[in-house]
Chain A
């Protein structure tokens, strides 16, 4: 079954700089996914390629089984809220809903009106006079009124205060629950998205460091705390596939690891990872994908013996 969003070796170059390199992933349908990475990691580039605003330099991307923006039907199935929620500043909320009506095939204008009325956002004021949180809700209502199957949002929470953030995510989740939309939100903070996402993609330096369901990721990773290991070369800990992060404090060492078996060494205490642990660990990786491949091969070789 086709994923909602798939990429194979996707790459994008601007003059000399590669904004995205070798990105491959499959985002399954029905997920609420977080695309996390520092500023400049390539999140906006990836999203813009997915909605057809940019063409990739190499590789391919498929959205709901087709090419992005290949025709008006595809455009109507994907919703997008760009960074800083661009709106026509001199349009009122009612004008924007009209705009949506005239530029879309399926359009649930009533839904948008009801939603905005429930949030007490005035529809007869120009968009430029609304607060950041109101603009974000307006942009979201417009994107949802299209009844998309896939909704992409580029840093929608960035300039919102905590209350506005909460309201925005609440609205988003409500629609996701009711209409079975696949959602991909990008952010440079994972804390915003922890409650809401069940799938995580980590992008750093244009490379996809990690992608998977959060449940699986938490299952596959551990925090290990134990005595500080001496010596330069550390031998492998049984059950650990890869050490992603190490920090030493006095006589104690804390590791964030990916496991492929039970940790039986008694001197290591196992703890469940938080999402933040995973994100920080993988963002610290220089060229994780290559590393991961090497380790996977090594593990496979060991298992074969």
Chain B
């Protein structure tokens, strides 16, 4: 039956392999470029000594040269849903649309066994391709992430939405979920094109919901008390606001005109406003800081520590793989009751 699964999905597999090879070549070439630049300019070693300000110029140069490459990251985000649409949706839908299930389900193989082999074959290929590509992209992104983390002091740029999705094990989870979603929708809808559309919509919907509402709360975020306008917590900042001793709320990292009025009321001599430059700038900064301290202004951040990055990766991976298994289970259960 594995021969049958291969023969039936051979074209899709080859097309997918072709696409991945093309992308893979691109990733390899540009990745080597970045890695080479990262190491040969000394930027790598420099950053290791954290917060070394002298690295800033080197990092500037790096970002100027390679910062735009991050755009390609968008391509990689799309890959899992393509797997779902082009490998998952047609798996059962094409048979139902063309009526060939009347041929397949009257041979001496049970529908469940038939389905298991098809799904198993395509699933294994997807998992393998997903793993290889995830590794490749992680390696590709690594210099960019290190530089970005250094520049914004978070120590965990990779934790942020948008970058988290490209890295580590979650892309494999997404791909398997997309595949299973395509399979289930294809089975229920019974037509390939509508199933592909529904898969795209469903995938985006689930991803958005998980990323925006679930991910911040996998583990209860830590709360940090930080200096106003100082460095962020070391990790992924989910929510932040500033507050003073009296309980008045401020924006997390900036002051509005109404805030300035408030400060002047509390701190005589508070500098006039932004735009003070030159030697007077230092004096102004010191005066502002003193006022903040007087008023008891500090920033509260809810964040996920960088150390939790891999835990979160595995939790999200498990969620999507769990969804995939549930969807596949649903189709396997229902396939025996499908009318023709």
A→B interface (CB under 8 Å): 48, 51-55, 69, 71-73, 75-76, 78-80, 82, 84, 86-91, 95, 98-100, 102-106, 139, 146
B108 touches A75 (CB 8 A): yes
| A53-B340, A87-B100, A87-B103 as given contacts; A102 in contact with B108, CB under 8 Å | no
B294-340, CB < 8 A from A: 337, 339-340
Which residue in A90, A91, A98, A100 is a CB contact (below 8 Å) of B107? A100
- Shortest distance between the CB of B110 and any CB in chain A (Å): 6
C-alpha spacing A102/B101, complex, angstroms: 16
A91 touches B7 (CB 8 A): yes
A86 touches B3 (CB 8 A): no
Which residue in A48, A69, A79, A102 is a CB contact (below 8 Å) of B3? A102
B110 touches A75 (CB 8 A): yes
Which residue in B11, B109, B110 is a CB contact (below 8 Å) of A104? B109
B337 touches A55 (CB 8 A): yes
B100 touches A88 (CB 8 A): yes
Which secondary structure dominates where chain A touches chain B? loop
B74 at the interface (CB under 8 A from A): no
- Shortest distance between the CB of B103 and any CB in chain A (Å): 5
C-alpha spacing A34/B340, complex, angstroms: 23
B110 touches A48 (CB 8 A): no
- Shortest distance between the CB of A113 and any CB in chain B (Å): 17
Could you list 27 examples of A-B contacts with CB < 8 Å?
A48-B102, A48-B340, A51-B106, A52-B105, A53-B102, A53-B105, A53-B340, A55-B339, A69-B106, A72-B110, A73-B108, A75-B108, A79-B106, A80-B102, A82-B99, A86-B98, A86-B100, A88-B103, A98-B4, A99-B4, A102-B1, A102-B3, A103-B104, A104-B109, A105-B108, A139-B103, A146-B107
C-alpha spacing A287/B281, complex, angstroms: 102
C-alpha spacing A139/B102, complex, angstroms: 12
C-alpha spacing A252/B102, complex, angstroms: 50
Which residue in A54, A87, A103, A139 is a CB contact (below 8 Å) of B4? A103
B→A interface (CB under 8 Å): 1, 3-4, 7-8, 11, 98-110, 113-114, 337, 339-340
B339 touches A54 (CB 8 A): yes
- Smallest Cβ-Cβ distance to B105: which chain A residue: A53
B7 touches A95 (CB 8 A): yes
C-alpha spacing A95/B6, complex, angstroms: 12
- Shortest distance between the CB of B101 and any CB in chain A (Å): 8
- Shortest distance between the CB of A85 and any CB in chain B (Å): 9
**Chain A residues, Cβ within 8 Å of B4:** 98-99, 102-103
B103 touches A82 (CB 8 A): yes
B102 touches A75 (CB 8 A): no
Which residue in A78, A87, A88, A106 is a CB contact (below 8 Å) of B106? A78
The 5 closest A-B pairs by CB, nearest first: A76-B108, A82-B102, A103-B107, A53-B340, A80-B106
Q: Apart from A55-B337, A78-B106, what are 19 other A-B pairs with CB-CB below 8 Å?
A: A51-B106, A53-B106, A71-B110, A73-B108, A75-B106, A75-B110, A79-B106, A80-B102, A82-B102, A86-B102, A87-B100, A88-B100, A88-B103, A98-B4, A99-B4, A103-B104, A103-B109, A103-B114, A104-B108
C-alpha spacing A76/B108, complex, angstroms: 5
- Shortest distance between the CB of A76 and any CB in chain B (Å): 3
- Smallest Cβ-Cβ distance to B98: which chain A residue: A86
**Chain A residues, Cβ within 8 Å of B7:** 91, 95, 98-99
**Chain A residues, Cβ within 8 Å of B110:** 71-72, 75
**Chain B residues, Cβ within 8 Å of A95:** 7
C-alpha spacing A88/B99, complex, angstroms: 10
**Chain B residues, Cβ within 8 Å of A98:** 3-4, 7
C-alpha spacing A75/B108, complex, angstroms: 5
**Chain A residues, Cβ within 8 Å of B99:** 82, 84, 86
C-alpha spacing A104/B103, complex, angstroms: 12
- Shortest distance between the CB of B114 and any CB in chain A (Å): 7
- Smallest Cβ-Cβ distance to A68: which chain B residue: B106
- Shortest distance between the CB of A32 and any CB in chain B (Å): 20
C-alpha spacing A237/B310, complex, angstroms: 93
- Shortest distance between the CB of B44 and any CB in chain A (Å): 51
- Smallest Cβ-Cβ distance to A74: which chain B residue: B108
- Shortest distance between the CB of A106 and any CB in chain B (Å): 8
C-alpha spacing A139/B103, complex, angstroms: 9
**Chain A residues, Cβ within 8 Å of B113:** 72
Q: Which of B3, B104, B106, B339 has the most CB of A within 10 A?
A: B106
B108 touches A146 (CB 8 A): yes
- Shortest distance between the CB of B125 and any CB in chain A (Å): 18
- Smallest Cβ-Cβ distance to A142: which chain B residue: B103
| A82-B102, A91-B7, A99-B4 as given contacts; A104 in contact with B339, CB under 8 Å | no
